[in-house]
A and B are shown apart, each in its own frame.
Chain A
Amino acid sequence: QKEVEQNSGPLSVPEGAIASLNCTYSDRGSQSFFWYRQYSGKSPELIMSIYSNGDKEDGRFTAQLNKASQYVSLLIRDSQPSDSATYLCAVLKAAGNKLTFGGGTRVLVKP
């Protein structure tokens, strides 16, 4: 079992719709959770962080965390063509401070 798992996609959504991305993790001791966006050929950029159960909103992005289910998600509202990218889920283990990434979900927003 991979430590952090994501559907590879592509997730195709029409412009203006909501994109929903999922991520599961295996280590129950994980404390910090991050979503990164990566455009082709570029380095990842941090878009959301979440540390406690529930929802966290920042502009058009909402991160959701459920530690009991070992599940973290990202919602992108009013999707724009500029949101087309690969979204990477990252999880920080408390023990050893190891930051592990999932394989990423490719999102395509169609005008």
Chain B
Amino acid sequence: DGGITQSPKYLFRKEGQNVTLSCEQNLNHDAMYWYRQDPGQGLRLIYYSQIVNDFQKGDIAEGYSVSREKKESFPLTVTSAQKNPTAFYLCATSLSGTSRKAFFGQGTRLTVV
């Protein structure tokens, strides 16, 4: 199946632990994005990447880290430095060029217990 796969769908983390959220795509899209969504709110950009081995901070990068070692993969690590990590995390991908229509994975719901 073509598409964007985020895993796991639900994730529980103890305070003080780092966790890594997976995002894999087989659409051959160049750009990949990570967003955070809190209840009743819009999407806030965490990190984005246009090409392999390069990425940029978004608006709320503190407490998060990413890597882009392969075109297909853009994992997000939520570190213990992120004080309020409970949220819905969304990965998106898009082609290069002006159109840049972005498509989303199903999301990962992270809860700190």
Q: What residues of chain A have their CB less than 8 Å away from a CB belonging to chain B?
A: 6, 31-32, 34, 42-46, 49, 51, 88, 90, 92, 96-104
Residue B42 at the chain A interface, CB threshold 8 Å: yes
Interface residue range, chain B = 20 to 34
Which chain A residues border B59 with CB–CB below 8 Å?
Answer: 100
Contact A43 B105 (CB under 8 A): yes
Interface residues of B in 42-76 (CB under 8 A from A): 42-45, 48, 50, 56, 58-59
Digitize B17-60: 1 where CB-to-A-CB distance is under 8 Å, 0 elsewhere: 00000000000000101010000011111001010000010110
**Contact (A92, B42) CB under 8 Å given A98-B48, A99-B33:** no
**A51 contacts across to B, CB distance below 8 A:** 98-99
Given A98-B56, A103-B42, 12 more pairs with CB closer than 8 A: A31-B98, A42-B106, A43-B105, A43-B106, A44-B43, A44-B104, A46-B102, A88-B43, A97-B50, A101-B35, A103-B41, A104-B42
Cα A30 to Cα B92 in complex, Å, equals 19
Docked-complex contact B101 and A97, CB < 8 angstroms: no
Given contacts A43-B105, A46-B101, A51-B98, contact A101 B42 (CB under 8 A): yes
* Interface flag for B100 (CB, 8 Å): yes
Residues in B neighbouring A32, C-beta threshold 8 A: 98-100
